[in-house]
Amino acid sequence: MRDRLVVGRRELASLRSEKTIVLALIIQLFIAAFSSFLVVGLVSLYSPSASQGDYVVNVGVAGNASDDLAPVVASDRRNPVMYGTEDAGLSAFAAGDVDALLLANQYPDGHVRVSAYAPEGSFRTTLVVVQLKDVLSEYERNLRDDLSSQLTREPLSLPPESAGSTYYGFTYTILLPLLMFLPAFISGSVVADTLSEELERGTFELLRVTPLSIPQIVDGKSLAMIALAPAQAALWLGFLGLNGIRVDHPLPILVLATALAAVLVGGGAALALRLGERRETQLVYSFGAIGVFALASLLPESPQNVVAKLAVGSTTDLTYPTIAGFVVAAVACFALARYVAGGMD
């Protein structure tokens, strides 16, 4: 075991010269340390409507149904501007006097057609489109309510709208799983890269002249990278806690992160030993890792859902069995790497 630890320490020490890996660690550290600030900006991409702040959209309204539409437009984030004719509204929109334009016309058969105009692509466009979508959805509901007396059958009732916080959902379903699983992906990539590089350059042969067997060498390199992943994850959890993001059940989360790291490290080591070429190994590993996450997302309870449910303290009957399944998969992948290494000894 001491020989394996020597190889592991050498592997960890060599990471300081890998600029790409160090940069990835720094990025993760920055995200975890300043998550409370970054999450506001990131949510603007995840859900633009959640981070519009005090921006007020001036919406021009014209057409013979504008009197019904204008009250719907009016809100704390929207300011309706009425125009007597469609041409006047279009001219004002073209001149930039309003951020958006809605032309609402009711036809003799009772149908109402609304044409929406928004500025060309920019960040402001995203905010405007989100507000227009809200207006049209609310206007449609109002029309349905007004015309409900004409229905010959009772429609099904809609479920109540959820009032959950977008920031809360983004933090626990996107940010936290990202910080927990990215170290596992990096650990597997490092093992695949270092083993294939040593095989390609022939330096791996120098290790074979030592008293260590090839499985022991692979053990040392793999165990070091597997241990690095939960160490990073634990550090990220600590920084999230300092930012006021509470995480329940951190230990099961770290077990899952460790198991996933072992799956990717074992798979990466087996690929490197089998293929032997650095570029080919990295390509196959990258697609393989993506495939692992894609298949895992098809499980009844995906890894990211497991992390989110553990973090908020809302586990189900499938949460811990899913973790146990990944632990079994980790043992199998590690055994596969040792088997391939044994074939080269």
Mean pLDDT, residues 48-63 taken together: 70
Cβ count within 10 A of residue 154: 7
**Which pLDDT does position 264 carry in this prediction?**
92
- Token representation of residue 320: 């811990």
Q: State yes or no: pLDDT of 254 exceeds 90.
A: yes
Residues 151, 154, 157, CA angle at the centre, nearest 5°?
A: 120
**Which pLDDT does position 330 carry in this prediction?**
93
Band the pLDDT of 36: cuts 50, 70, 90: low
Of 109-118, 155-164, 222-231, 239-248, the one with minimum mean pLDDT is 155-164
**Which pLDDT does position 280 carry in this prediction?**
87
Q: Could you tell me the pTM of the whole model? A: 0.62
Asked whether the beta carbons of 217 and 275 are under 8 A apart, the reply is no
Q: State yes or no: pLDDT of 74 exceeds 80.
A: yes
Mean pLDDT, residues 81-85 taken together: 90
**Which pLDDT does position 166 carry in this prediction?**
53
Radius of gyration of the chain (CA): 28
Q: State yes or no: pLDDT of 94 exceeds 60.
A: yes
Nearest to 325 by CA among 289, 288, 292: 292
Report the run of H or E that residue 274 belongs to, with start and end: helix 250-275
Per-residue pLDDT tens over the stretch 103-123: 989 888 778 888 989 887 655
Give dist(CA 137, CA 140) in Å, integer: 5
**Which pLDDT does position 221 carry in this prediction?**
80
The contacts of residue 104 (CB under 8 Å, 6+ apart) are: 61, 62, 63, 64, 65, 66, 68, 69, 112, 113, 114
Give dist(CA 32, CA 27) in Å, integer: 9
Of 54-63, 195-204, 331-340, the one with minimum mean pLDDT is 195-204
Label the pairing between strands 100-106 and 57-62: parallel
Band the pLDDT of 262: cuts 50, 70, 90: very high
Give dist(CA 139, CA 230) in Å, integer: 50
Specify burial of residue 297 (Cβ count, 10 A radius: 0-12, 13-18, 19+): exposed
Higher pLDDT, 312 or 163: 312
Residue ranges covered by each domain of the chain: 2-33+164-344, 52-145
Of 26-40, 57-71, 211-225, the one with minimum mean pLDDT is 26-40
Asked whether the beta carbons of 219 and 338 are under 8 A apart, the reply is yes
Residue 172 region by backbone torsions, left for phi larger than 0, else alpha for psi between -120 and 50, else beta:
alpha
**Which pLDDT does position 171 carry in this prediction?**
77
Higher pLDDT, 149 or 341: 341
Give dist(CA 291, CA 264) in Å, integer: 11
Nearest to 201 by CA among 254, 272, 277: 277
- Average pLDDT over the chain, rounded to an integer: 79
Nearest to 307 by CA among 269, 250, 253, 265: 253
Q: State yes or no: pLDDT of 206 exceeds 70.
A: no
Cβ count within 10 A of residue 86: 17
Give whichever of 17-31, 168-182, 287-301 has the largest mean pLDDT: 287-301
Q: Does 3.40.50.1100 match the CATH number of domain 52-145? A: no
**Which pLDDT does position 209 carry in this prediction?**
62
Per-residue pLDDT tens over the stretch 179-200: 888 888 888 888 888 888 878 7
Mean pLDDT, residues 60-86 taken together: 87
Q: 163-176 burial string, b = 16+ CB within 10 Å, else e?
A: eeeebebbbbbbbb
- Whole-number percent of the chain with pLDDT over 70: 73
